Amino acid sequence: MSTRTRTTARRPLRTVLLALVTALVPLLAAVSLGAPPATAAVRAAVPTATLTEVTDFGTNPSSLRMYLYVPGSVTAHPAVVVAVHYCTGSGPDMYNATEWHQLADTYGFVVIYPSVTRASKCFDVSSPQALERGGGSDPVGIKSMIDWVTRTYAADTTKIFATGISSGAMMTNVLLGDYPDVFAAGAAFSGVPFGCFATTDGSEWNSACANGTITHTPQEWGDLVRAAYPGYTGPRPRMQLWHGTEDATLRYPDFGEEIKEWTDVLGVGQSPAATDTPASGWTRTRYGSTGDRAPVEAISLQGVGHNLYTYGMASRALTFFGLDSSGPAPQPPPGACRVSVTTNAWNTGLTASVTVTNTGTTTINGWQLAFTLPAGQTLTNGWGATYAPSTGAVTATNASYDGTIAPGASVSIGYQADHTGNSGAPAAFTLNGTVCTAG
């Protein structure tokens, strides 16, 4: 018995290798011919058109959670928007409170919603670790989320953007400072400059910054940003800033300090290249150029407090990012259209039901309905489309489920608005630039 056992154990090496090769050849063939690549398997595991939590996405020193929205119309190499929530919020809250996922349905980009797990539900924008590249706090986890999406969806690394509200706005400032080579632009709603909230005692709150009493020269602010990634000499991301003049949480002077900081970082003058009023009570200043993609754009909202974000503002950020023409684009209808409106008004509010009919002979694939609200009306809600801005000349862009209108077919959309006395319907409509008849 022992002799036979030793003889078996000492089979010639050539015989053993031949047996291994014979066994592996069909296995390797099955893998190469039949098994999907790893990225394809991951993509299949993330359902489209629904908010999904992704785990094990990479280095995550502060135990953030990652939520992802991938539209059914996701493009081959999609842009990525990181939408960062406010204090006490979460990734799902940010998903529900903003229209970024609806815009993704229209334009084909992917949205990441980071979510804090610490008790305050505020992002770390104050510790030394947060204010340096690879420092080991929240920005590192968010960068891992971006890397995961980039690998999984072959995302366009030149089209990575950040946006946030309050704590998320502060994190937007931090992300653009820590990772200038990652982000193309950011939009911060009610935030503070990079480094303004810095603390060294472990506290998450900096009262001096919150009260707007920390001031620096533009170069001093810029040096704080540049110190986050020493030696970096590449391009810097553009920045859009929003702030209300009556903000009692992060005081209005912080807005001016943000402007000083980012104009210095981007190397543009302190004097606006253009100033206008895109909506009632808004003052928009652009620095470095006059167009929609200026290096720095700042929007001041007169008489508005900390909770300034309203429906339609994301569309303006999308325009600043340059993403409102990167996905499926509406095409002009070859024929005519008809629009009918029914309104239901009460003391200071109204609802409007709008029916759009394709009276042409060719199917419409993707549409934008333009109209002007009567004076004193302000949109507060909408369905069946995304609406921007909330006053004046409004554009309603189709949702993912109603973008196709066959000849003779109709779609129904609607909106809710406040009014100051005039509860009438818009007087005229155009569909993809074509004037519609009233019906």
Confidence band, pLDDT 50/70/90 cuts, at residue 335 = low
Q: For the chain, give me the number of helices (H) and strands (E)?
A: 11, 22
Q: What span, in angstroms and rounded, lies between the C-alpha atoms of 187 and 175?
A: 11
Q: Per-residue pLDDT for 194 more than 90? A: yes
229 versus 202: which is more confidently predicted? 229
pLDDT of residue 157: 94
Note every long-range contact of 243-246, with CB atoms under 8 Å and residues 24 or more positions apart, other chains counting. 243/190, 243/191, 243/298, 243/299, 243/300, 243/301, 243/308, 244/190, 244/300, 244/301, 244/303, 244/304, 244/305, 244/306, 244/308, 245/300, 245/301, 245/302, 245/303, 245/304, 246/303, 246/304, 246/305
Question: Has residue 32 got a pLDDT over 60?
Answer: no
Which range, of 102-106, 198-202, 304-308, 327-331, averages the lowest pLDDT? 327-331
Tokens of 147: 């890397």
When pLDDT is averaged across residues 70-96 and rounded to a whole number, the result is 95
Res 102: pLDDT: 92
Judge whether residue 330 has pLDDT over 70.
no
Contact between residue 188 and residue 163 where contact means Cβ atoms under 8 Å apart: yes
Looking at the predicted structure, is the pLDDT value of residue 328 above 60? no
Neighbouring CB atoms inside 10 A of 97's CB total 15
Q: What is the pLDDT, as a whole number, of residue 45?
A: 52
pLDDT computed for residue 336 by the predictor: 80
Joined tokens for residue 354: 């709008």
Instruction: Indicate if the pLDDT at residue 326 is higher than 70.
Output: no
pLDDT on residue 361: 82
User: What average pLDDT does range 99-121 have in this prediction?
Assistant: 95
Q: Which residues of 331-356 are buried (b: 16+ CB within 10 A; e: fewer)?
A: eebeeebbbbbebeeeeeebbbbbeb
Quote the Cα angle for 153-156-162, to 5°: 100
Residue 272 has pLDDT above 60, yes or no: yes
- Supply the pLDDT for residue 393: 82
Active site residue 166: yes
Q: Is the pLDDT of residue 112 over 60?
A: yes
* Percent of residues, the chain, with pLDDT higher than 90: 72
Please state, in angstroms and as integers, the Cα–Cα distance from residue 437 to each residue in 149, 238, 341, 343, following that order.
45, 42, 12, 18
Q: Which residues pair with 370 in a beta bridge?
A: 395, 430
The whole-number average pLDDT for the span 347-371 is 89
- DSSP type of residue 215: -
Mean pLDDT, the chain, whole residue set:
87
pLDDT per residue as tens digits for the range 375-416: 999 999 999 998 888 888 888 888 878 888 988 999 999 999
pLDDT band at 9 (very low <50, low <70, confident <90, very high): very low
Q: Active-site residue among 73, 115, 166, 423?
A: 166
- Output the pLDDT for position 430: 83
* pLDDT of the residue at 51: 97
The percentage of the chain sitting over the pLDDT mark of 70, rounded to a whole number, equals: 87
Average pLDDT over residues 205-210: 97
- Asked whether residue 41 carries a pLDDT value surpassing 70, the answer given is no
pLDDT of residue 19: 44
Question: Terminal CA-to-CA distance of the chain, rounded, Å?
Answer: 98
pLDDT of 398 reads: 87
DSSP string, 55-100: ---S--TT--EEEEE--TT--SS--EEEEEPPTT--HHHHHHHSSH
What's the pTM value of the predicted model, to 2 decimals? Answer: 0.69
Query: For residues 72 and 88, what is the distance between their CA atoms, to the nearest angstrom?
Result: 30
- pLDDT at position 318 over 90: yes
Burial group, residue 253, by CB count within 10 angstroms (0-12, 13-18, 19+): middle
Contact 331, 358 (CB under 8 A): no
Model confidence pLDDT, tens digit, residues 127-173? 999 999 999 999 999 999 999 999 999 999 999 999 999 999 999 99
**Tokens at residue 97, please?**
């409170």
